[in-house]
Amino acid sequence: MSSDLTPRSDGSPEATGAHGVVSGSGVNDRLARPDYAGPGALPLAAVDHTPRRSDLYPKAARRVERQITLMFLLSMLMAVLFIVGYVAIDVGTEIYIPVLGGVGFQNLVLGVTFGLGVFLIGAGAIQWAKKLMPDVEVVQDRHPLPSTPTEDAKAAEQYQRGKEESGFAAYRIMRRTLIGALALFPIPLVVLVRDMWTNDDPALAGQSPAEILSSTAWTGGLRIVTDGTFQPLRPADIPVGGLVSALPENIEEIQKEAHNLNERGKSAIILVRMDPEDIRAQQGEGWDYQGILAYSKICTHVGCPIALYEHRTHHLLCPCHQSTFDLADAGNVIFGPAARSMPQLPIGVDEEGFLVAASDFNQPVGPSFWERG
């Protein structure tokens, strides 16, 4: 489309015509266009025209016609078969198809008939367009990307006029205060974002998010219970090579009160037992109990729960990004993106002989956050 405002400087046509070849692109002028010969009349391309068989032989054209008709007929058949399949096939029927395996028969029939029904309409339409509709090669020019110098000048002039008429350059103080107002305006929204976390738990009232993230439900003397069945554990229950996913004994009450799983997420641990001689290092002196070690279950990378414990290598692997922690060596990272070792929970037993936490973790569990440092 040529612009009404700025007549093109050049673009003189060299040849036009219904079946002629247009080569309107002036070599020197990159803004030149082929002559515009009115709506719908696209310039023809300078390529050799090979006529299609259906153009040359009426017989071939009729064959194509029959093909396309057949496609549309088949599409109708598919629509009918779809309804038949829907009504006649029991939903539960399963059939075996090689490669696919056991498949719901109705699912298969509905999918295949509907898919083919739509596909055949499209394929027929494309065949029609390709084989029977008029066959001429045309060139559709792209608009030249840069504006013309006249357009550029006009834009610049309008900008200048706007600047002068608005007085944006003249009223200096007003301009600066406007910029200041615009800069401050989004800050209240940022302040709201800071407090998006909710804290319904009265026990945590007054604590900052960083403080809440830094402590868990574990306290000294709190019994360790199995996750899922909530049974307290005695040291003898865990054999060497054993693995237990565990939680603090009061986790269910905490959850009920807080109406969320936050504490469960933070205090989940795994207990593993190894030959005490295999333990090369721990995060604190005597934090194990006769070879039973308690580590956080939350990956220090971005917080996936992990319990892929290999009891012969003592490696704990995170399936999310393959961080590997060596639980025989103070939970240190031996592979992967995690930057911190897995926090260890010091444990002991109470008077009744059940495993208990000796204290809370001495560092925040889970992924790093700003204030954690």
Residues that bind other proteins (CB under 8 A): 50, 52-54, 94, 97, 99-104, 107-108, 126, 130-131, 135, 226-229, 231, 233-234, 236-245, 272, 305-313, 315, 317, 319, 324, 335
Query: Out of 266, 301, 314, 340, which residue is the one contacting ligand FES (CB under 6 A)?
Result: 301
Q: How far is the CB of 331 from ligand FES (least distance, A)?
A: 13
CB of 260 to ligand FES, least distance (A): 21
The 10 Å CB-count burial string (b at 16+, else e) for 213-234 is bbbbbbeeebbbbebeeebbbe
Q: Is 30 in the site for ligand FES (CB under 6 A)?
A: no
Out of other proteins, ligand FES, none, which partner does residue 321 contact, by CB within 5 to 8 A per kind?
ligand FES
Q: By CB under 6 A, is residue 334 in contact with ligand FES? A: no
Query: Does the protein bind ligand FES through residue 271 (CB under 6 A)?
Result: no
Query: What's the token pair of residue 346?
Result: 């010091």
Phi, psi of 22 (to 5 degrees): -100, 130
Min dist CB 130 to ligand FES, Å, is: 52
Binding of ligand FES by 298 (CB under 6 A)? no
Least CB distance from residue 225 to ligand FES, whole Å? 25
Query: Could you tell me which stretch among 12-20, 37-45, 279-287, 299-307 binds ligand FES (CB under 6 A)?
Result: 299-307
**Cβ neighbours around 45 below 10 Å, total:** 14
207 binds, options other proteins, ligand FES, none, Cβ within 5 to 8 A by partner type = none
Q: In this chain, which stretch among 10-18, 20-28, 300-308, 326-334 interacts with ligand FES, using CB under 6 A? A: 300-308
320: Cβ contacts below 8 Å, ≥ 6 apart = 299, 301, 302, 304, 306
| HSE toward the beta carbon, residue 332, CA cutoff 13 A | 9
Structure tokens at 141: 């020019």
Cα dihedral 125/128/129/132 (nearest 10):
-170
d(C-alpha 261, C-alpha 265), whole Å: 6
Residue 316 to residue 279: CA distance in whole angstroms:
14
Site residues, ligand FES (CB under 6 A): 299, 301-304, 318, 320-321, 323, 336-338
